[in-house]
Amino acid sequence: MMEEPEPQVTRCNGYLEPLEKLLAVYGLGLECVGDTRPIPGSFWGEPEAGLIGNRLYVRRDTPLHSAFHEACHYICMDENRRKVLHTNAGGSVEEENGVCYLQILLADHLADYDSEKMMHDMDAWGYSFRLGSSRAWFEQDADDARKWLLKAGIILDNNTPSWKLNSQQEDR
pLDDT tens-digit profile of 21-79? 999 999 999 999 999 999 999 998 999 999 999 999 999 999 999 999 999 999 999 99
pLDDT digits (tens, 9 = 90+) for 45-56: 999 999 999 999
| pTM score, whole prediction | 0.94
Contact 162, 155 (CB under 8 A): yes
d(CA 69, CA 74): 9
Q: For residues 57 and 40, give the distance between their C-alpha atoms in angstroms, rounded to a whole number.
A: 6
Q: Is residue 171 part of a domain?
A: no
Query: Is the backbone of residue 98 left (phi > 0), alpha (psi -120 to 50) or beta?
Result: alpha
Question: Does residue 168 belong to any structural domain of this protein?
Answer: no
Q: What is the mean pLDDT of residues 143-159?
A: 97
Contacts of 169 (CB under 8 A, 6+ apart): 78, 79, 80
Q: Is residue 158 part of a domain?
A: no
Say if residues 63 and 13 touch (Cβ distance below 8 Å): no
* 105 found inside a domain: yes
